[in-house]
Chain A
Amino acid sequence: MPDWLGNIIGQDLLDGLNYITNGKHLMWYASVRFTIIAALLGAGFALIFGLFGAILLNSKFLPLRGIGLFYSNIVRGVPDVLFFLFFPLAFEQLVEWFFALSACSAQELAENIGKWPPCPDAQWFLGTYEYLLLASVSLGIVYGAFSANVIYGAMQAVPKGQLEAARAFGMGPLSVLLRVHIPQMWIYALPGLSNVWMLLLKATSLLSLLQIADIVLWADRLGAPNYLKQVGLVHPDWRWRYYLVLFLFYILVTYLSERFFNYLRKKLGRGMVEA
């Protein structure tokens, strides 16, 4: 910030402005992208898994229904934090295990029993974006299980006569599903899906568990007490202030989501339930 600005708005305010626009704070603001990417990508995966899960649950064929039930019931029962820790790690090691089969010699494999990875060549180094993708898939799997349940319920809510009419006109099962059942399901699924989205959104605050420098990790770092002048502004433990800013951020996103879902409800509700 230019110094002359101090004459207009006062030196204290200028110092404050300078503080919240310093390099570290700009990094903090920029880290919002991780949260947004994880939320949108996670929601995309959740919707895809949810749709497939619901179609399985809706299947007349028992083994398929069984897979759907297993997915929606088991995954919904696991705490999201735990799954968030489990899935990326398990996936990484599974890939490394496959690598090891071809990259490591038989001798290395025999010598390094109990060590991970079995040989240095099999090590898979994950960057922030790889972790972000794995995080999104984890979110997708967990919240897909909730979505599957919501979408299944919505599919049941579509009046039977609508599907019967489609069959009577010669549509096959896939056409009935794609041209009538799924298009009509959304309006019933929307309230439930908006809930799932809110939960997913809040779960994005777990990204720091995967070493991603997200808004929560930065708030932690910036709010920590600093007693060294060389490092920057000297201040005591300010974390609560930073957390409050995060609260505001999440409340703002929630508000915007609410408006988006209202818009969707009106659009999808055309001809259906009076919005």
Chain B
Amino acid sequence: MANIIELENIEKSFGELKVLKGISLSAKRGEVISLIGSSGSGKSTLLRCINMLEVPNSGSVKIDGEEILLKGNGERREPADLKQLHRIRSKLGMVFQTFNLWAHMSILENIMEAPIHVLKRDKKEVREQALELLQKVGIADKAHAYPNQLSGGQQQRAAIARALCINPKVMLFDEPTSALDPELEGEVLRVIKLLADEGRTMLLVTHDMKFAKELSDKIIFLHGGKIEEEGEVKEIFENTKSERLRQFLAASGH
């Protein structure tokens, strides 16, 4: 099966600080991969390198077989072809830790924004899909509310609907429940689980080991900007090889 995401030897520094020290990974169609690791291990940065919210200092990113063109070197590296970048980004559904729903638009407008203004799709058709997606994530009654009128859990579900409405090839989740109160996590996790069961390709950065175990096909453990251990869920949890991962799992109650 073809790889939808292929990262090769990704390195990223912020000034003196080396955050990613050469990471390669690939995701096949329909695969759910969780990136785990302690704070500062570079897992969020890695996810943000996939859609170039952070431009890696070296290494390459391929989405659906197409390499994102970059120019320049090191800190000065930047996308070489903005048209290509925007086209590729519009295939990646990103869900942020802090939701980042556009505050000046209603929930429905948020969801319809990219399909209409980036993908230039028909308004009526997009509206229908948006309403269906709101139904799916369980907040159909909030279509005309503004983001700040919703609870955190509802906002994150709306943000998931927004990402789904571009019919993405891959869903990228950047710690989707970390900003939520514990009692609101469940409703968001249920929606993510639903998407995994549909066979969507997903990359998930998370702290929630229980959830990663339940959901993922593959788990990647990052430590100090490198892949310390990776493998199938069963292997990772039951046949842990690295001492660091053992400690990490123990600390998070596994």
Interface residues, chain A, CB within 8 Å of chain B? Answer: 159, 161-162, 164-172, 175, 179-180, 183-184, 270-272, 274
Q: A161-B98, A271-B146, A271-B147 are in contact. Are A169 and B104 (CB under 8 A)?
A: no
Q: Whole-angstrom distance between the alpha carbons of A161 and B98 in the complex?
A: 8
B86 contacts A171, C-beta separation under 8 Å: yes
Residues of chain A within 8 A of B94, CB atoms compared: 165, 168-169
Interface pairs (25), CB distance under 8 Å: A161-B96, A161-B100, A162-B102, A162-B103, A164-B53, A164-B96, A165-B94, A165-B96, A167-B89, A168-B53, A168-B96, A169-B89, A169-B94, A169-B114, A170-B86, A170-B89, A171-B117, A172-B86, A175-B117, A180-B102, A180-B104, A184-B102, A270-B104, A271-B146, A271-B148
Residues of chain B within 8 A of A270, CB atoms compared: 104, 146
Residues of chain A within 8 A of B96, CB atoms compared: 161, 164-165, 168
Q: A169-B118, A171-B114 are in contact. Are A271 and B87 (CB under 8 A)?
A: no
A184 contacts B118, C-beta separation under 8 Å: no
The 8 A-B residue pairs with the shortest CB-CB distance in the complex, in nearest-first order: A271-B146, A170-B90, A165-B100, A169-B114, A170-B89, A161-B100, A168-B94, A170-B86
B86 contacts A183, C-beta separation under 8 Å: no
Q: Whole-angstrom distance between the alpha carbons of A180 and B117 in the complex?
A: 12
Q: A162-B103, A166-B102, A169-B166 are in contact. Are A179 and B117 (CB under 8 A)?
A: yes
Q: A161-B100, A162-B100, A180-B102 are in contact. Are A171 and B146 (CB under 8 A)?
A: no
B104 contacts A271, C-beta separation under 8 Å: yes
A171 contacts B106, C-beta separation under 8 Å: no
Q: Whole-angstrom distance between the alpha carbons of A17 and B171 in the complex?
A: 77
Residues of chain B within 8 A of A171, CB atoms compared: 86, 114, 117-118
Question: Nearest chain B CB to A164's CB is how many angstroms away?
Answer: 6
Residues of chain A within 8 A of B118, CB atoms compared: 169-171, 175
A183 contacts B104, C-beta separation under 8 Å: yes
User: What residue of chain B has the Cβ atom nearest to residue A168's Cβ?
Assistant: B94
A170 contacts B87, C-beta separation under 8 Å: yes
Please report which residues of chain B, range 83-117, place their CB below 8 angstroms from some CB of chain A when the two chains form the complex. 86-90, 92, 94, 96, 98, 100-106, 113-114, 117
Question: Nearest chain A CB to B158's CB is how many angstroms away?
Answer: 12
Q: Is B82 an interface residue (CB 8 A)?
A: yes
Q: Is B51 an interface residue (CB 8 A)?
A: yes
